Amino acid sequence: MDITLMDKQEFLDKLKVELKISKNSEHTIRNYLRANNELINFCKKNPEQIKNQDVKNFMASKISEMSSPSIIVFLSAVKYAYSNLLKEDITEGIKRPRKERKIPPVLTKQEVIDSITNKKSKLIVSMLYACGFRVSELTSLKITDLSFSEKIGYARQAKGRKDRLFNIPDFLIEELKQQVEKQKQNKQEYLFSGRDGKLTDRNIQKIIKRATRVAKINKDVHPHTLRHSFATHLLENKVDIRIIQELLGHSNLSTTQLYAHVSSEELKKVKSPIEGLNLNSEEKYSEG
């Protein structure tokens, strides 16, 4: 008796359902579907015929193109799909590379906002920097998430599927109130919206790239750079790292501790132990 195997589209459709049921973010859903689609296309097999060696062959062919984080995401995506849909782990025994702990670029406080003239764009960038937002947190921010009386807001269902509290800086309150009123008049539920409704990650990436180009900033700047800058400047202002951890919404302190290696201003204050010694002195030192 022949057993009918799932074709690629049925496999991906079922995977999408599983991911949505588990309340994964749109970003995760998109990445996991793409990873499994690429694997199936490469193998030219039915999904149920793909085995451990096929995964290794795919990785070997793409190894020069994939960063360590990309490999980790790929293996997680394949493991999730096959464990949930076919009850087998075809990634078993494949070593994951260690996460690269690169020091992220940091902007000076003057570089962050000065180059933007458009009022809405400037407010978006100011929020990214002043509140340490991930892009997805800002695009998902609703006008009901802000409490001007308490000067706080909530990033709902942020990374890790948990709400995160943030402080609203005084210098942004009036502009934010105006933005809220504008959105209410336009019957919009989100704080920022685009032509097609909810503002996308891509919209914000374009704003940052344009501002970087205009300001002639010679750094690899992304929206997340503003979050790095937020954390680093807090550290330079002597804010306790555990408080920074809460403000960033990090589950593990080790993630936040990356910023302890970033603060160039703190490094500049350190004097060499040789400073203060008179190297021309004829003073004799006896051996002890």
Query: 261 an active-site residue?
Result: no
Query: 222 an active-site residue?
Result: no
Annotated catalytic residue: which of 32, 80, 82, 259?
Answer: 259
Annotated catalytic residue: which of 134, 164, 228, 233?
Answer: 134
Query: 184 an active-site residue?
Result: no
Query: 250 an active-site residue?
Result: yes
Annotated catalytic residue: which of 79, 164, 227, 228?
Answer: 227
Query: 96 an active-site residue?
Result: no
Q: Note whether 60 and 74 are within 8 A (CB).
A: no
Annotated catalytic residue: which of 159, 198, 210, 222?
Answer: 159
Q: How many CA atoms lie within 13 A of 1 on its CB side?
A: 1
175: which 2 tokens?
């502009």
Of 235, 205, 199, nearest to 221 by C-alpha is 205
Query: 224 an active-site residue?
Result: yes
**In the block, which residue shows the tokens 């920022």?**
192
Alpha helices in the chain (DSSP H): 8-21, 26-43, 52-62, 68-85, 109-113, 119-131, 135-139, 170-185, 201-215, 223-236, 241-248, 253-256, 264-268
Annotated catalytic residue: which of 142, 198, 210, 224?
Answer: 224
Annotated catalytic residue: which of 79, 228, 233, 250?
Answer: 250
Contacts of 55 (CB under 8 A, 6+ apart): 39, 75, 78, 90, 91, 94
| Catalytic (active-site) positions | 134, 159, 224, 227, 250, 259
